[in-house]
Amino acid sequence: MAAENSFDVVSQYDEQELVNALDQTRREVLTRYDLKDTKTEIEYDGKKSLTILTASEFTLKSVRDVLESKLLKRNLSLKILKEGKLESASGGMVRQHYELQQGINQDLAREINKQIRDNFPKVKPQIQGDAIRVTAKSRDDLQAVQQFLRGQDYPVPLQFNNYR
């Protein structure tokens, strides 16, 4: 009897890489000529949210561009940032909140599960908390599922780990 092969579909980000990208962004904002005197603050609560406080919407866009470039250089997907509403703060400044997304929510997990079952009858997906375990007898089937999922566009970044 052939052994079952499996892998997990997860949505995670490396928190240390995120902290490094935020530090690099803060340094660049302090040294860039067009952003130097904007009193820009980037706050990270260490868990699920990020806040940018700056002088105007124009400088907010510039800071966001710098942050996105630093995230991409550190191999972090921009899909981890869920943009909140733009608020006006005291002193004519603007504040932008961002939620950090990690994990696959139940609705998306059910959708992915259904897509895998419809397209790959030999494969068995199971939802396990905020991850999906995919099992099959053939590693080729599992690799085909990974290729299929890479080709889809989901609102969260997907990674594949525990490949056995």
Domain holding 53, by residue range, is 15-100
Tell me 76's DSSP state. -
Q: What is the CATH classification number for the domain harbouring 91?
A: 3.30.70.990
Indicate whether 28 and 85 sit together in one domain: yes
Domain boundary among 100, 116, 133: 100
Indicate whether 25 and 84 sit together in one domain: yes
Positive/negative CA dihedral, 103, 110, 112, 4 = positive
pLDDT tens-digit map of 117-147: 998 888 999 988 888 999 989 888 888 998 9
Question: Burial code of 129-139, b = ≥16 C-beta within 10 A, e = fewer?
Answer: ebbbebebeee
**Contact yes or no for 125/109 (Cβ under 8 A):** no
Indicate whether 111 and 95 sit together in one domain: no
Indicate whether 85 and 119 sit together in one domain: no
**Contact yes or no for 142/123 (Cβ under 8 A):** yes
Indicate whether 82 and 20 sit together in one domain: yes
Domain boundary among 57, 80, 100: 100
Indicate whether 21 and 87 sit together in one domain: yes
Model pLDDT, residue 65:
93
pLDDT band per the 50, 70, 90 thresholds, residue 1: very low
Question: Burial code of 66-75, b = ≥16 C-beta within 10 A, e = fewer?
Answer: bbeebbeebe
Indicate whether 137 and 121 sit together in one domain: yes
Into how many domains does the chain fold? 2
Q: What is the pTM of this model?
A: 0.83
For the chain, the average pLDDT equals 88
Indicate whether 26 and 63 sit together in one domain: yes
pLDDT tens-digit map of 41-77: 889 988 788 999 888 888 889 999 999 999 999 999 8
Indicate whether 86 and 20 sit together in one domain: yes
Indicate whether 79 and 114 sit together in one domain: no
Q: What is the CATH classification number for the domain harbouring 129?
A: 3.30.70.860
pLDDT tens-digit map of 106-118: 999 999 999 999 9
Domain boundary among 100, 121, 142: 100
